[in-house]
Amino acid sequence: MNITKEQIDDLNAVVKVAISKEDYQDKVEKILKDYRKQANIPGFRKGQVPMGLIKKQYGKAVLVDEVNKLLQDNLNKYLTEEKLDVLGNPLPKQQENFDWDKDHLDFEFELGLAPSFDVQLKTKKAVTQYKIVADKKMIEEQVERIQKQYGKLVSKSEVGKKDEVTGIFANEAEDIDHKTTIEIDKVKSKKALDALTGKKVGEAVTLPTKGLFKEDYLLSSALGINRDKADKLDTNVTFTIEEINEREPAALDQDLFDKLFGKDKVTSEKELKDRIKEDSEKQFEQQSDQKLLNDITEKLIDETKFELPAEFLKKWIQISGEKPLSEDEAKEEFERSEKGLRYQLIEGKIIQENNLQVQFDELKEFAKGFIKSQMAQYGHLDPKDEELEGIAARVLGNQDEVRRLSEQLMSQKLLDLYKEKANLKVKEVSYDDFIKEAYS
């Protein structure tokens, strides 16, 4: 077997593979002999079928199969040994009236080659790194929410503007019959507020569904229907009051602090607000980091210029999927995926040049940290290391989870690299301003 490469240009090449009969003959003969031993052909005893008949019936299929195996194995080996960085897979060039009976078989494969380029992390224009701060207003609102959440319910005789009212929403035509509790201060409709205020247990009021609540998502849960139906609903519902309560805010005392953070971890209102600020800003950091990663990605794609073997990739896309695509479909798919492919190449270059690797020990620690944060959401704040080790071992026994966590860890490594070396300008903003500015 002989393999040679013809360079067409910087991004395209053709690999020629010459296979002689000696390369595959022994393997083909062995397989045909095995077929002969097992063949059941009428008129012949098992194992006594003439070899000529076996060759006539199976020879061509076995030959094609073995040659294709040789091609695949040796072509992959050649690409690895020659360190050819290819995009997609080699595409066989079509040959009219190919003669499989010749002693020498010649094949050609088109290659699309990865471009050569440089990546500059210090982009021409600085990328904004948002530092989101929890302002005084946000902290006060969070304190109020905590006091409300841990407060006690006091029964009332009639509905007031800050009460919680339990009752049944009903509309026979829309198949609505759902018991729920609503907070009056979340009702938006003035008509609804006027109808509810001053009502007593046992009384029923008619409320409009359109614009009933300040937040649209509340309607579906209040009526017990799916979100799509709720978004389109424009009718009236009957609300029959069963219970009226006022939530008396919890006192900002040691008992509340201990419920929130553990005994004596927080001992004053100032420490509570400091803790809320710290915890909120940690959560905000995840959002600002994701925004930074997205913005740097866009900037690197925009400023890192290189050509791709576009025509090759369109041909490869055309035949590589589950079903063949037309030329126009392949062109559209290439245009959709080009940006992602460019970043894959840029990211690969950055990872290689900065020697970023995911080691198993750090992957395990990363998994333990992820598990610990998940457990904290369910109130398990201080798990033992042995417990984390056991869960991490089970998680890392799943290859899909290993791949997912490895990708997340590599993203974190890239983010750390960008924070160290990229051209960044830090901007301090409130959370509301971040949402307006970053996602407007």
pLDDT digits (tens, 9 = 90+) for 394-421: 999 999 999 999 999 999 999 999 999 9
C-beta of residue 407 within 8 angstroms of C-beta of residue 390:
no
Distance of alpha carbon 170 from alpha carbon 85, whole angstroms: 66
Sign of CA dihedral 148, 150, 152, 153: positive
As a whole number of angstroms, the distance between CA 347 and CA 80 comes to 21
What per-residue confidence (pLDDT) applies to 261?
Answer: 86
Handedness of CA 86, 88, 89, 94 (dihedral sign): negative
User: Which helix or strand (DSSP H or E) is residue 88 part of?
Assistant: strand 86-92
Taking every pair of C-alpha atoms in the chain, what is the biggest distance, in angstroms? Answer: 102
Quote the CA–CA distance of 303 and 117 in Å, as a whole number. 11
Q: Show the low-confidence residues of the chain (pLDDT under 50).
A: none
What pLDDT does 384 receive? 87
Cβ distance 62 to 32 under 8 Å? yes
CB 279 within 8 A of CB 261: no
Predicted confidence at residue 381, as pLDDT, reads 63
Burial class (CB in 10 A: 0-12, 13-18, 19+), 252: middle
| Strand arrangement of the beta sheet that strand 2-9 belongs to | 2-9, 12-20, 104-113, 86-92
pLDDT at residue 438 in the model: 85
Query: What does DSSP assign to residue 126?
Result: P
CB 227 within 8 A of CB 213: no
pLDDT at 73: 93
CATH of 152-248, one of 3.40.50.10490, 3.30.365.10, 3.10.50.30, 3.40.50.2000: 3.10.50.30
Provide CATH code, domain 2-113: 3.30.70.1050
Give CA–CA dist 35/33, Å, rounded: 5
Do 180 and 213 contact (CB within 8 A), yes or no?
no
Residue type, 400: D
Q: Provide the pLDDT for residue 379.
A: 65
pLDDT of res. 242: 96
Please check whether residue 174 is in contact with residue 235, taking contact to mean a CB–CB distance below 8 angstroms: yes
Domain ranges within the chain, ordered by starting residue: 2-113, 152-248, 267-306+354-439
